[in-house]
Amino acid sequence: MADAPYLVALALVEFAGKRALPLTGKSQSAEAADATDPGDDGRTLALELLLRLWQRSEEGPLQRAAGDPSLLLVELPLDVMSEQLPLLKANWVSSGDTEAFLGSLQGLAIRAWHITIAKYEPVSFIAWP
């Protein structure tokens, strides 16, 4: 399972004007890694992340920091997730350079989607970029 990719949901947001990048993730099975859509695992991670954002909303006004790609689901190799993602996160939180963060994340991701929803529709995963 060490070679299995890791599925990570992350949100580029601001709470009361302070940047934050909460995330949650889980290991992928081989079958899930081969699927075209992140499916139930993706929906579960999105829900967990959004509930964490909801809980933190008492800190102040919540705002997306990057428009549509503010809520992302990415598939990363485990070593990238554990070694490089924390550095990218720290750099973005301190610098606010969203373009650099998104470009670096795209370069590291195996696959990526932004998460969206429309009225009366289920959660959708749109290939990103």
Residue 3 has pLDDT above 80, yes or no: no
Tokens describing residue 50: 């959004």
- Residue 78 CA to chain centroid, in angstroms? 15
Task: Name the pTM for this structure.
Answer: 0.91
Peptide bond into 129 cis (omega under 30): yes
Residue range 69-118, pLDDT digits in tens: 999 999 999 999 999 999 999 999 999 999 999 999 999 999 999 999 89
b vs e for 12-44, b when ≥16 Cβ sit within 10 Å of the residue's Cβ?
A: bbbbeeebbbbbbbeebeeebbeeeebeebbbe
- Which residues contact residue 69 at a Cβ distance below 8 angstroms, ignoring those fewer than 6 apart? 12, 102, 114, 128, 129
Give the pLDDT confidence score for residue 2 in this predicted structure: 52
